[in-house]
Structure 1
């Protein structure tokens, strides 16, 4: 068998062809030769630009020793060109002929037949954009540039039509100056987006041009006068009307106004068929189209002669009760008027008012206005100004006078106020009054008694016309009650709703921490007592209970110290054997008297324990003893009225009553005898009890209530 001839590879490919954009195509390549090739690649020539395609290139297949053909997965415009398959072996490189590949399709092709559009303001315009696309057209939009401000228009944009795949042109239904600018049409398919050439849109037109050939007219009373007007307008479709200006008050006149002719597109001039004095004034011709309104210069019309013309200042007047009001009237007359008067109509009753009417002024030839010095509700009604000259009587249009006002309206901010004793509190009050109120005060109602509070009332501020609220600088229980704010004006008196003021205060709360105290005869003892009181307590005293006998211990009682407002403790400088028993601390403030729970005092001798909470005792002397033995019966375990806390009203009230109302006849007084009281005297006073000196001659007086 003969050996194969060794040579460079022989490479053959098919001829060129046309492919559609987006399709997959393959350029077949066959290679022969010995030895076989060891390198395969392709070359692409596109407009003289060579590019090398190797195996593994993104978007391709093939270009390998096993599969030298070239497959392009998605044909695009850039894939057009001349392709050559190249193979290399040990003897050299072989090339195929070039295959020309043409890709059909790509970016949309657009055609804009006109680069400039000119349209009249308010008209419709269509800017044409023709689009051919393969692959198929998928999206259309437009972009407008108005002095650097870019606007994107999509299908359905307000005031537009078109901008669609089947109709890519842009239609603006009613063009305005804001639509002027440069426009581009954008068309998109899967190959990309293409922009059209620029199209310029200009808008023509403006407000109507209105001119008058004559600026001044003179006419006699009762004649016909025509004031001429000429209008030029782009766009057309305008309307014509006139404005009459008298002393700043403008009246519109159109084709429908009675007594006139003209004011139309075909005849913009104004003709007044029968002029009167009231037609005198300044006139302006106006024309309105889609762009805006144009107006002429003013025309002056002067009318001579006729009955007096009376003009009122306003169609309605409103005045506050009691405030002077002038109803303005201006009279023009040729010949001059010789009489002025007014008519008032109220509930179909007509009254004539002249310069002699009580409570009024003016209504003269020089000042025809009507001034009411002090309007009341009876002055309400419809008023008409009348004037007469040699030709006849003229009158104004009617005007309505309304008198407003009423009693003051006083409102309070809250229905309930709560304050701590000694606080500063403000009861808020707002007053609305037409006419203005002239008097302001508060009323306090407490236990059926009424107190008027005015400015200058001691301990308060406010209660003035500028500040109607009531401020109490230092509240006490006296200030508790019901309050209301009262204001008066010329019409009457207005009251607020009632509000309550509650003062937080209570009898003193008193605590003795220790329920049991033990003391030795001859030694000192202090029973501590703490007091919380709002308001501050003003008096402190104690009670001692022995054998159901209460002894009142007040400041100054012999044998006891303390019992002051600042130091309520009970101090015994030298304990006596008879000082044992139950002790209660009491304190009084503005609200009442509070008391502590009882503490028990057990008195002992230094070398023995002794409970002398009762006076039933015996002294037994035994040999060898240095101190007496004392037997006693125990204190009652519970005495209900003495065991209550500060919240127990009964004992507090009893003690207060004793303190304030005790008399010698109301006391059961026992004199303790047989005891040396030289040093250990426990004097007890609830009141002077008929002895102003306060001394009991060295005797202990115990009071049973």
Structure 2
């Protein structure tokens, strides 16, 4: 914008003003990349790289010692507009994994100096990061955007934007739809039921685009955790494969009961079915038996009995003795490490589960050497008869009773000595003599061994002789 100054005295400064909303605003000449001139020797103002914002009314001002002179207003008009940007299609569709180009055309005067793309997902708008190798284009020479290896995250609304010195223009939003998703996995029944030891198949159907590349099953175990089933390493299972996604469980037992989920994976991700519950039907304990069927031990030997039964779910075992309702022991084994005679009797094994119980009994015999008791006799007199009391208990029954005096055995002859038999073990000594005085002991014998009483001392009063 040309300005000439005539001044006397000579002007000392020149400056320009622009009318901004009715207010004269000084031009900032420190912006050397934008303005030049406006000096005493070159008062005209040059506006570099004019843009729409530069349009308006300008005045040239010169100042001397007398005052400031101002030119009339001159109007600067700037021609040109923001770029016109349009998409080649109103919407775009691509398959997962494919390459797609979102076409964009730009018409601009002045020429566009940059092109970029934005993606709108919900309420979020983000600029496409062209440093990502999946994207190409989005330049002044090639404004269209090419996306390689499409995935579900690429879906959304896209805008093409171009900028020039006037401003920025943008296209309408063009939705991009990506065809393909995680597999759709369906289990045909919400509940399966089977008897224990049977084989059952949990049916699973997979629909996937892109095609699924793996199938696996998970099961929720008792503590709430989830385990992944592996048919390849466990012959109990079969199936669970891309071509046969259903799961077959062989020889079902109670531990197989629980919640199952079928999973299928493709390049998009992993889809899973809803839960299905496998109900395993068990049965009450049956075919109960105790081994050995009868037990006979010598005292201090161990007693061991094994209770076996069929049934499911898990069996619990309780042992009772005789008619007692108090638990004697638990577990399938009855064990008494060192038996006593009081351990003899009948023992009952009770096997129980949630479906019922079963009982079996075993008879236990504890053999022991005779337990012999002798009673201290009172003092006898010469010529009298005296009886030394003896009794015993024995299992099995005693086969002989033996008396001894000191270290010598006594022969019961029915005259001097009477008794000393199984039915009458006490010993009667007739016609006492001083020689009968001494230490006596009663013994009983059975198949286990010989039991001896303690020793007693017989005193004979010889004063009346």
Question: How does the TM-score come out when normalised to structure 2?
Answer: 0.47
The structure richer in strand per residue is: 2
Q: Larger relative contact order (C-alpha < 8 A, sep ≥ 6)? A: 2
Question: How does the TM-score come out when normalised to structure 1?
Answer: 0.32
